[in-house]
Structure 1
């Protein structure tokens, strides 16, 4: 029992927000008379919140380095969308080339901001605030205040397409989705068992067998239920595949690589990390280059979702991403947080938005409620730290 308490205490924020997500979903499922978790609405939740999830993955790395944030991501989304739209619609450049150029623009923006933050040591808040204004202005210049559309259908598939059903021809059920969920379940099961065996081998604390089995059962049940919902609508959205790849890659980077450990070390104590041999400037620089790349990917995804490149694209995206990270367990002082936690935070925000929209709650009350949730999440973090001291 002491082991269970210790594990729960060490992951209190993440478990608490996961429980909050379940409660919020159950509440809105009841209030909307079952509409929230209908297969079509579940798919809509993925499509509507894909941009927040991608940005939150990059933002949590920035926050981990010491509570730094990137205020420019919404404007970067807009400028990349504007450039990509101009290339595809106006200049008739091929879609793959336009996407590569769009991502390269994101790299250049990340290099520009990372240089000032990491090597000149101008505070990230100031640099990215300047970037927010600069790139929004450049967006207006590129688009000349106009909206660019229509895009080719192939480009729109990025955000609105679905993986074809290779196994069946039933239009009402996608068998490929079920097969994919079974494969993922088997791989996940094997990895968790391997991780448990490795922890026991080196003397680390592990959950008792009954709780371990219960944990696996719950996760696998949720995964396969989610797959069933998708299968009964149109199957796996293309954007979900992109999200899954990003989540796996960045979870691996933050937990299994030297670069990931250095990010946490800088957030914990930058001076100590530097004395330990960590190239803090390089790590900080690469963190913001990465944020530029993910902002560019978001810009391409959102443009495909919107089916147009507009001067107002990306407005307040930075606030959604920052809120998702803090709600998902990231510490305002850095050094604490996970990619999975940021995803949970993004889903909390997404379910709140979707549920309140279904109920007809006005945008004014939606903003007030989301602001209260964010404040409560950060207050929970501060109070928990004070108690532990």
Structure 2
């Protein structure tokens, strides 16, 4: 619950956060008269700003807060300039793992600050503010049917929710799913990682298949890799996940693509029952703690999923079968995991490397020299490791 005072009365409402952000301990009312500098100061102090003005002005204020959060401080005077230069040099010379953790801390602080601008949502999922849009469909997709309970939501998180709704409607074009004449769009649901990094999909689309009768897709997410395997002619694909949103998303995409006869989506922690001549997994590529549900597609605390896949793979491989591990080496360039450690896990699981196919990522950050992690991102490669039992 969050609490505030309005018209001399104590009020409260449930706090809703998909990112598991803590509710602001102090909340004040805010409207169109609030100056951006004042709003930013309050937000940095951890004060929630419950909006009572024009909705579109709230969006403008959020943009102003973003500009202030992203603005680099100006050094004043020669001494300050030298100190800033020294700090910059220290940051540049920091070991990659330190730079990564500092970057995550900065991101978390930025998210907390920008998350202080709050918007009330009524029990019927309408927004009772001037010029507020009707986003009930987007709310229903993310939260389920309206239950008559009002709540308060961060405007930044709300905009992310609506952005996910638009991605779901539009879909993501996946050329590896076939010709333009056939359905080849994946529609990611809210909270399910979108397959915007096409290089790992291309690796699965091009690697030589060891067999076509059956494949397991472990941690299917949107179902994109299961769909690619089915389009490549694998007769039956069992796709697993344990997240309810991912399961619903994968089933929806399999149905849209007309692949329901080939692809079965089942709830499981990693492997389904039985063995298959091909077992595919694209685990999160960075060891670390996820701060929201969607970050579980990127961060794998203690490399749990990666190690679980490797340790259980041999038991689920049919004779002469292959396991395909699709993994970025960004963690290696950041000093979070070594190649030797990965290979030790492979050998310790009774597996050997048959072959490895590699591709350079094409995402925008890999070419952004201003990114704090540019050195690691520019060296990153995504690999498909073909593994077999010893």
Same fold (TM over 0.5): no
Q: Which has the higher strand share?
A: 2
Structure with more of its chain in helix, by fraction = 1
* TM superposition score category, shorter chain reference: under 0.3
Which structure has the larger Rg?
2
What is the TM-score when the length of structure 2 is the normalising length? 0.23
Normalised to the residue count of structure 1, the TM-score between the two structures is: 0.23
